[in-house]
Amino acid sequence: MVSLKRIVENNLIHRVSPEEYRSKIKRVYGGRKGALLATASKVSLHIPFGRRLIRSRNFDVRGMKSILDVGSGAGQIAGHLLDYADPDAQIVCTDLSEQMLRRARQRLKSPRPSFIVADVTALPFADASFDGLTCGYVLEHVPEPEKGLSEMARVLRSGGRMLLLVTEDSFSGAWTSRLWCCRTYNRADLRRLCESLGLHWKNELWFSPFHKAIRAGGICVEIQKV
């Protein structure tokens, strides 16, 4: 199974320079695959499952006055934030792809969020700018994950909380990697990296009891900045 997973998994991120990889990802998400992202998230049930996490307060956004959604894509998580965050909460959406942000703006149809083109490894915000942060299936597209996590830690205030979702190094994760040209992460290794940067894994979350029982759905964790 391990050998088959390695065959299936896309290793482009390890074979080209960070600049070449970022250009590739911009093309992927700016093109037809990106245009189908919201639909794909509905079909895979990631949108309703993600909505449940926030609606049920498993990741509680109440009381957060400023929330950054890193790698907003088609606005899947931002839509949940609009529905369940405090009405006066500032919501900022970033993405590497300008085209994806256009799609998010069109899909959300709300004047409330700000949309900013930005790379997670160089976020254009001051230290401790946000009470909360969400990052769904973005870190697997970062050639240097320590830089991305360090930047997210930098802009999150002390005690602030983050919802992080990442593709895991499972067989199903390998197929996700093949489809979206991304890497996968080992759960224990990612936890150690986060903890080394002052990002404490507060709660490991699951989309449903069934997902937890069979260890499916990828890595989903609530993180608190120490």
Kindly tell me if the per-residue pLDDT of 162 is higher than 80: yes
In this structure, what token pair is assigned to residue 208? 């449903």
Q: pLDDT for 166-181, tens place per residue?
A: 999 999 999 999 999 9
State mean pLDDT over 201-226. Answer: 93
Strands (E) across 47-105 are located at 66-70, 90-95
Confidence of residue 2 (pLDDT cuts 50, 70, 90): low
Residues 207, 211, 217, 220, Cα dihedral to 10°: 50
Confidence of residue 73 (pLDDT cuts 50, 70, 90): very high
State mean pLDDT over 32-57. Answer: 89
What pLDDT score does 76 carry?
95
State mean pLDDT over 79-96. Answer: 97
SS3 category, 100: helix
Cα–Cα dist 100/73, whole Å: 5
CA 121 to chain centre: 13
In this structure, what token pair is assigned to residue 173? 């994760």
Amino acid at 81: L
CATH superfamily of the 2-225 domain = Vaccinia Virus protein VP39 (3.40.50.150)
Kindly tell me if the per-residue pLDDT of 1 is higher than 60: no
Q: Mean pLDDT, the chain, as a whole number?
A: 94
Judged by phi (left if over 0) then psi (alpha if -120 to 50, else beta), residue 71 lies in left
State mean pLDDT over 128-145. Answer: 97
| Bridge pairing between strands 156-166 and 219-225 | antiparallel
Cα–Cα dist 73/34, whole Å: 8
Residue ranges covered by each domain of the chain: 2-225
Q: Match 């976020």 to its residue by tokens.
A: 123
DSSP for residue 132: E
Cα–Cα dist 169/8, whole Å: 11
Helix (H) or strand (E) holding 8: helix 2-8
Helix (H) or strand (E) holding 191: helix 187-196
